[in-house]
């Protein structure tokens, strides 16, 4: 029985999405459904339970930083945030947060504040990260000085830990 009746508030009616798995029929309240994804081929998961068929990626994922050039080119052309989001399949909040982060970093760079690199520190210490190489010489030297201060602080901490360990094991 298919009808195109829209439900009104207070009528105690319920719209149900009906689906089948195997020979079993199931139903769920339409208000609880976010999206309907058609079946995709799955990738088997090793050592998984027998009731798990596998996994799949419903969407292709790209980090928003990979769109940086295209986003700012579209903004220069006068495109709105909504148009940019529709083109790349982003949510408006994602784009706004990305632009805010970009603007904050640009403000830091223009005022001479170095941006701390994320992740593990460099081991060799010979080359500067690309974001630091773009800065003027004073900012590069400030970055190197801060890096060396962090290294000295780390070595002092290691020395203190080793001293405590040796005193606890009575090796002095």
Query: Which residue ranges make up each domain of the chain?
Result: 118-172
Q: Tell me the two tokens of residue 55.
A: 């996994």
**Separation of CA 96 from chain center:** 14
Partners of 26 in beta bridges: 19
Q: How many CB atoms lie within 10 A of CB 135?
A: 19
Say if residue 147's pLDDT is above 60.
yes
pLDDT digits (tens, 9 = 90+) for 68-99: 999 999 999 999 999 999 888 888 999 999 99
Burial class (CB in 10 A: 0-12, 13-18, 19+), 84: buried
Say if residue 27's pLDDT is above 90.
yes
* H-assigned helices in 89-136: 92-110, 130-133
Return the pLDDT at 3: 57
Q: How far apart are CA 58 and CA 39, in angstroms?
A: 9
Say if residue 161's pLDDT is above 80.
yes
């Amino acid at each position: 029985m298919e009808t195109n009746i829209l439900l009104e508030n207070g009528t105690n009616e319920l719209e149900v999405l009906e689906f089948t798995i195997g020979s079993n029929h199931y139903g769920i309240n339409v208000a609880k459904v976010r999206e309907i994804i058609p079946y995709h081929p799955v990738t088997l998961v090793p050592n998984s339970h027998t009731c798990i068929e596998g996994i799949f990626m419903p969407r292709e994922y790209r980090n928003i930083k990979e769109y940086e050039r295209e986003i700012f080119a579209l903004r220069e052309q006068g495109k709105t945030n909504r148009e940019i989001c529709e083109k790349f399949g982003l949510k408006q909040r994602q784009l706004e947060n990305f632009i805010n982060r970009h603007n904050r970093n640009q403000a830091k760079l223009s005022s001479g504040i170095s941006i701390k690199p994320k992740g593990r520190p460099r081991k060799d210490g010979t080359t500067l990260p690309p974001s630091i190489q773009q800065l003027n010489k004073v900012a590069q030297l400030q970055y190197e000085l801060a890096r060396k201060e962090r290294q000295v602080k780390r070595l002092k901490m290691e020395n203190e830990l080793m001293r405590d360990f040796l005193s606890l094991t009575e090796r002095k």
